[in-house]
Structure 1
Amino acid sequence: MRPPRRSIQAVSLWVRRQPPKVKAFLAVVTGMAALVLLRVIVHDHDNLFVAAEAVHSMGICVLIYKLMKEKTCAGLSLKSQDLTALFLAVRLYCSFVMEYDIHTLLDLSTLATTLWVIYMIRFKLKSSYMEDKDNFAIYYVVLPCAVLALLIHPSTSHHFINRVFWAFCVYLEAVSVLPQLRVMQNTKIVEPFTAHYVFALGVARFLSCAHWVLQVLDSRGHLLTALGYGLWPSMVLISEIVQTFILADFCYYYIKSVFGGQLVLRLPSGVV
């Protein structure tokens, strides 16, 4: 019997040879299969959202370990961390004024560690920060998210400003990883700890997306009505799906690299 690693490499080679449309179809089928599996093994689908936030926190812990052990922030995007801190701060505010629960505590811990990472990059390890590679203009995502939040937001009974903030953090979270992907696109080589962090973000985004999709299926669509009327319920699902697909390609090459025994992830052109 062939070793599992050789079989995985053969499957990976076959996938790489397929045209883009076939790859997209395979990605959709794989995602649907994973959703079915989660629906079977996870009884309370609310736990998926908690798991998503926990995995995100673990990813931040990986960054902290990298910064403390290697004393370098090379390969990390300060702009992505700024965007992450921004949407977490807004979401934390919304949690306090709208629904104080376990998510509030998780967001608080994740925000605290993210602010620590930002402090290390800006001050302690500034000499190793690759500012020339971190060249994504964040106003390209912040301004559209703000405008979109003003136009499409929840129709709940909460104050208008709170509803706009809620929508803003949902939209911003969906695209907050883009500066980090730009850094990796510019360098083409991703060292292990950064790769682990981005993969954790991908897993967190998938779990969050699975939470919403399965909740809609479990409620037979009634959840969409509970979220309000108009375009907002659809935008929540679209935002979750966008987050997942933004990181899907990277996660594929990460898994391929891990099973191939490579410590450093080398990305081909056009991946991110």
Structure 2
Amino acid sequence: MKATKRPIHALTTWVRRQPPKMKAFLAVVAGLATLLFLRMVVHDHDNLFIAAEFVHALGISLLIFKLTKEKTCAGLSLKSQELTAMFLAVRLYCSFVMEYDIHTILDTATLVTTLWVIYMMRFKLKSSYMDDKDNLPIYYVVMPCAALSLLIHPNTRHNPINRILWGFCVYLEAVSVLPQLRVMQNAKIVEPFTGHYVFALGVARFLSCAHWVLQVLDTRGRLLTALGYGLWPSMVLLSEIVQTFILADFCYYYVKSIFGGQLVVRLPSGVV
């Protein structure tokens, strides 16, 4: 066990000492290497999207366990849950009027679960809610997404309002986790179940991003043209990448803590 930990400790120590630009470069290299590995071992890349849905469901299950068994919502951001409910509700509306499919059912289940989490945090477990740590104003997240959706949205035959709402939910999903990351940054220490939940979100986002990137490569870019024209196809792909990179730093410290035998994740200043 010690022999295994020493190389890992040496590697994490070396990475930690690198300047920010080198860390960003190493993250990109690691991401590209993982994409190459997935492309070689996963023949049907649609399975990556299914895997992302499964990991996301696993993260929600851990969140439910925390709320029902531990009777506390400490470390969780109510604002992130509200933003999640917001983009899911908008996406469900768009699904019903534009492209009803199996993901509509999955989003419905996720929305119901998210609304239950919000109810628990607002009423049943309000005393353990860290209101002072959850201090990122929602309009800082919502307003830029709304403005961007007015400028860049799908160019389809659907009603213009529906197309703008579709763009809004894509952009909002990409940044909905920011209040949760702010809570963890303010607290500096992330307890296990919150850490597991956010790490599951990070893995799910990476798998979803890998699905899109590999699909674009497999179709030689035809997938982007199938999504429409103008800037919208590129913004869809960029939103997936942004979601992944937002959570990448936390996932690094999570993995580092797990390999170090720690149950809690300790975040240095400036992570979020």
Whether these two folds match at TM > 0.5 is yes
1:3: how far off? 2.4
Q: Which amino acid aligns with 1:234?
A: S
Structure 1 equivalent of residue 56 of structure 2? 56
Question: 2: distance between equivalents of 1:6 and 1:104?
Answer: 47
1:200: how far off? 0.7
The question of whether the paired residues in 2 share the 8 Å contact of 1:61 and 1:113 is answered with no
Structure 2 equivalent of residue 221 of structure 1? 221
Q: Does 1:163 align with 2:166?
A: no
Structure 2 equivalent of residue 178 of structure 1? 178
The question of whether the paired residues in 2 share the 8 Å contact of 1:216 and 1:222 is answered with yes
Q: Does 1:68 align with 2:68?
A: yes
Q: Which amino acid aligns with 1:140?
A: Y
Question: 2: distance between equivalents of 1:108 and 1:39?
Answer: 30
Larger CA deviation: 8-17 vs 38-47: 38-47
Structure 2 equivalent of residue 265 of structure 1? 265
RMSD, matched Cα:
1.2
SS of match in other structure, 2:158: coil
The question of whether the paired residues in 2 share the 8 Å contact of 1:50 and 1:103 is answered with no
Question: 1: distance between equivalents of 2:34 and 2:180?
Answer: 26
Q: Does 1:233 align with 2:222?
A: no
Structure 1 equivalent of residue 204 of structure 2? 204
The question of whether the paired residues in 2 share the 8 Å contact of 1:59 and 1:198 is answered with yes
1:134: how far off? 0.5
Q: Which amino acid aligns with 1:98?
A: M
Q: Which amino acid aligns with 2:52?
A: A
1:35: how far off? 0.6
Q: Which amino acid aligns with 1:23?
A: K
Structure 1 equivalent of residue 47 of structure 2? 47
Question: 2: distance between equivalents of 1:196 and 1:77?
Answer: 14
Kindly report which structure 2 residues correspond to 1:1-272, keeping only aligned pairs within 5 A, or say none: 3-272=3-272
1:194: how far off? 0.3
Question: 1: distance between equivalents of 2:164 and 2:103?
Answer: 19
- TM-score of the aligned structures, taking structure 1 as reference length: 0.97
- TM-score of the aligned structures, taking structure 2 as reference length: 0.97
1:2: how far off? 6.3
Question: 2: distance between equivalents of 1:148 and 1:117?
Answer: 29
* Percent of residue pairs bearing the same amino acid type: 81
1:153: how far off? 0.4
- Structure 2 stretches lacking a partner, 5+ long: none
1:67: how far off? 0.6
1:254: how far off? 0.1
Displaced runs of 4 or more, over 6 A: none
Q: Which amino acid aligns with 1:255?
A: V
Q: Which amino acid aligns with 1:111?
A: L
SS of match in other structure, 2:162: helix
Question: 2: distance between equivalents of 1:242 and 1:3?
Answer: 37
Q: Which amino acid aligns with 1:262?
A: Q
Question: 2: distance between equivalents of 1:145 and 1:82?
Answer: 15
- Structure 1 stretches lacking a partner, 5+ long: none
Question: 1: distance between equivalents of 2:237 and 2:224?
Answer: 9
